[in-house]
Chains A and B, each alone.
Chain A
């Protein structure tokens, strides 16, 4: 049988995508498609794992046992998301350990939002509400991603994220209906997290180098700016319910466009944080690297034990 030439394979691949047929691990795919997915899914996995740190730091200090249990369950969900996503990356032939090493060396990125500190209890509710809220905007679209394992993983992840978003909002409702001190704590968190949350959607469309190809391959369904706008439109009424002020003097409803207008984003800050100069970049990577190094002997022991058992079975 004559091997199909590359052009023909690419043509058939794109036809499948156009017909909304999912691409599965054993299907032929262009190298660039594979690379793009490995990059994107591993970044997503890293974001889940690094994202455990700012919230995890409040588990021991949660204000009551119910909130402690809710936070434990939430951070546990995130570790679970990390696991699905690393497994998804493995279906593309990448090695979980290697992708983690790329995170530690700085080669792989993760969501910049987690380089901002969680300094008060209100930050925990705000992260749930705004950060998980922004993540959902992205992730709901990813449930229809052309790559099967990623799309299916996202369905479960989205259900949990949407629960987290509502939990975060509910926690803020309690603060905003509480004492003036609690309300001020919530407003302070809003002031610090609003802009970094908007930055989560990534650079503007004209500055986003990978977007056009990802849209054609249906890895992405909406542009960064479209998703950002949907997030602002959905979030402003929620802030009104809470009685919190969004820290943007130019935020206003635009009758003509049917959307909220908002101020330009400080992209200098965005790129500084992406490139390592955020308030907690160093702490986050150090914490992950330390966990890996200090856990090395545990993983070695588990491997050694498994090998001994396998030998005993064959003996």
Chain B
């Protein structure tokens, strides 16, 4: 492989989009209002589109002729590089929106920095994806505020979701030793800058939503290294079903 660090980085970007897109697809037809059915399938569609571009590029860097489908459907569980946050089950609408918000608040500054990447391919994908991500963040922020400052029930539900999902947020900013070479080469940003912006967005939205940042700061990580939660296996069983049951066919 020409560039293992770059491959790993692009793969994890692609997997984050893929796994969250897959999760949002589960909502289709079951949303709390019709407008949200449309919004969630739309965001899912954006994320699947991002996954296609990113995984194609990962396959190109890998140089073994793998396209986005080979990477999306034919890896083993420990080969996926998404963060744990995104494979967590949808739960209720508050949980889905909180997961989305915590991720969107991270993805937006990340893409903003990646637009300036010295790697033209990453820069191009980031530019296109940033437009989508701005909408996603606007949508999820508005729901967090609405639910947090809505009724007592919605406040409790969205606070519970925050309390539960907070433990998966540090992993968003984890950097592998390999990543450092990419930072040095001006291909990807340092995560410390992204985290400052993320924390500011999270603080201001949660404040408006009258939600409390959890004090329990014990954090989980592992997805970036391929060590996943029990939930990923079931997600992959659905995702990979057709490719595993009917191998080597064109669809």
Contacts and interface: CB of A to CB of B under 8 A. Distances in A.
Contacts of B250: 174, 178
B110 to A, nearest CB: 22
B42 interface: yes
A153 B149 CA distance: 36
Interface size class of A (residues with CB under 8 A): 35 or more
B93 interface: yes
Interface stretch (A80-88, A102-110, A130-138, A209-217): A80-88
Interface residues of B, number: 48
Contact of A76 (B45, B49, B238): B45
A64 B31 contact: no
A308 B60 CA distance: 52
Given A182-B249, A301-B153, A305-B146, A52 B32 contact: no
A179 B28 CA distance: 30
Interface in B20-57: 22, 25-26, 28-38, 41-42, 44-45, 48-49, 51-52, 55
B93 A56 contact: no
A113 to B, nearest CB: 16
A59 B68 CA distance: 17
Nearest to B35: A83
A62 interface: yes
A174 B251 CA distance: 6
A63 interface: yes
A21 interface: no
A73 B28 CA distance: 11
A49 B73 CA distance: 30
Interface of B: 18, 22, 25-26, 28-38, 41-42, 44-45, 48-49, 51-52, 55, 68-69, 72-73, 92-93, 145-147, 149-151, 153-154, 157, 238-239, 241-243, 246, 249-251
Smallest CB-CB A-B distances: 4 pairs: A295-B32, A301-B150, A301-B154, A63-B242
